[in-house]
Amino acid sequence: MRVLVTGGAGYIGSITTEELLKQGQKVVVFDSLQQGHKDAVLPEAVFVQGDLSDKISLENVFQSYSIDAVVHLAAETVVEHSMTDPKKYFHNNVINGINLLDSMLKYNVEKIIFSSSAAVYGEPVETPIQETHPQNPVNSYGESKLMFEKILDWYHRAYGVKYISLRYFNAAGASEKLGEEHHPETHLIPLVLKCALNYKTEKEANKKVKIFGTEYPTNDGTCVRDYIHVVDLAKAHILALEQIDELGARVYNLGNGDGYSVHEVIDTAKKITGADIEVVFASPRRGDPAVLIASSSRIKEELGWKPEHKDLESIIQSAWSWYLNHPERYSR
Ligand code: UDP
């Protein structure tokens, strides 16, 4: 099978590509490199630099390679930015997604795995969150993901497109070769580990982690999230591709089912790195729900997915090892 991975030079996309290659699949990565890294694309994959807004280069890919299925990760992904610049989120995550679907229709590609998000739920009314939980996004990022899920369902009903939407909770950790590197970095675990690195190298800058909000209705007042190892997440895409023909149209949560507060993440990172990570208290970030914890029983039962790196310590340890073993991280 030849799989087109949009956003395949990004954090989750590059590791999903790595897992597809391990399975013996052929992969074409399509990425604008606005956020992704050329160095994150393994040499066994074909790389095409392009943007989903550019219909001509997109169609060229379908024309040049016989694509059997698409894994669609290319997106704008920062919750806070989505509150101040929603048009970017609707253009990139909805309109560009429609360009992709239309090219798929034109070239008779009928299977797509979509990287959706826990942000489709908004503030939970029940925890752990099941797929049937009400969907009321509190940020335009979540809204854009929910819109595209609905568009997929209409393309399924009208044109027979087969889709599986995977609602990611908080991806974290690294594989041996590939890890997390955003510019600018906004995610908690890489920010905490970068502070630890700065502490170790005695660089003065960026030694402190900001804690966004300390009065949430949680045990210690900080936000609680469900961190899932990125390799476990990537493997779910393989299972989804293997079973999409029978399933046709399905939505799954992808999380561990355990919640950790911002304080707990920082304490675990301190233990692993031996660094005395300093914190400063800051205002809550706009658009952040207090608690997001997944029920992933549906994907476990239906696809046989099973997380292999469930505990927070091994997730953070893998990210830390990647930083230590790749001091340059990605140069391109
Ligand atoms: N967070 C924080 N300080 C930071 C970055 C994040 O306190 O510098 C908090 C954030 O408010 C959220 C949690 O850590 O509750 C996880 O945030 P992240 O950006 O990693 O993922 P998100 O849940 O937004 O997808």
Instruction: Give the DSSP letter string of 206-255.
Output: T-EEEEE-S-SSSSSSS-EE-EEEHHHHHHHHHHHHHHHHHH-EEEEEE-
Q: How many Å apart are CA 3 and CA 23, to the nearest integer?
A: 12
Q: What is the DSSP letter of 327?
A: T
Q: How many Å apart are CA 4 and CA 66, to the nearest integer?
A: 9
CA 276 to centroid of ligand 1, rounded, Å: 20
Other Cβ atoms closer than 10 A to 109: 20
Residue owning the nearest CA to atom 14 of ligand 1:
188
Q: For position 170, what pLDDT does the model report?
A: 97
pLDDT in tens, 137-177: 999 999 999 999 999 999 999 999 999 999 999 999 999 99
pLDDT score of 200 more than 80? no
Q: For position 286, what pLDDT does the model report?
A: 85
DSSP run (H or E) holding 117: strand 111-117
Q: How many Å apart are CA 75 and CA 168, to the nearest integer?
A: 13
Burial code (b: 16+ CB inside 10 Å, e: under 16) for 43-72 equals: eebbbbebbbeeeeebeebbeeeebebbbb
Residue owning the nearest CA to atom 10 of ligand 1:
212
pLDDT score of 201 more than 80? no
Q: For position 326, what pLDDT does the model report?
A: 94
Pocket test for ligand 1, best of 80, 83, 188 (most atoms within 8 A of CB): 188
What token pair was written down for 16?
A: 């999903």
288 lines ligand 1 (CB under 6 A): yes
- Domains present along the chain, CATH in parentheses: 2-172+227-254 (3.40.50.720), 188-225+258-325 (3.90.25.10)
CA 200 to centroid of ligand 1, rounded, Å: 23
CA 145 to centroid of ligand 1, rounded, Å: 19
**Which one-letter amino acid corresponds to residue 160?**
G
Average pLDDT for residues 19-25, to the nearest whole number?
98
Residue owning the nearest CA to atom 6 of ligand 1:
188
What token pair was written down for 272?
A: 């692993």
In terms of average pLDDT, the best of 130-134, 193-197, 199-203 is 130-134
- Judge residue 155's burial from the number of C-beta atoms within 10 Å of its C-beta, 0-12 exposed, 13-18 middle, 19 or more buried: buried
pLDDT score of 204 more than 60? no
223 lines ligand 1 (CB under 6 A): yes
The pTM (predicted TM-score) of the whole model is: 0.96
Average pLDDT for residues 124-137, to the nearest whole number?
96
Close Cβ partners of 256 (under 8 Å, ≥ 6 residues apart): 169, 226, 227, 228, 294, 296, 307, 310
Average pLDDT for residues 65-78, to the nearest whole number?
97
What token pair was written down for 330?
A: 């990605």
User: Residue 168, CB half-sphere, CA atoms under 13 Å: how many?
Assistant: 24
Average pLDDT for residues 279-285, to the nearest whole number?
95
User: Radius of gyration over alpha carbons of the chain, in Å?
Assistant: 19
Q: For position 104, what pLDDT does the model report?
A: 98
> What is the set of active-site residues?
141
Q: For position 331, what pLDDT does the model report?
A: 79
103 lines ligand 1 (CB under 6 A): no
DSSP run (H or E) holding 271: helix 262-273
- In percent, how much of the chain has pLDDT > 90? 92
Rounded to the nearest integer, the mean pLDDT of the chain is 95
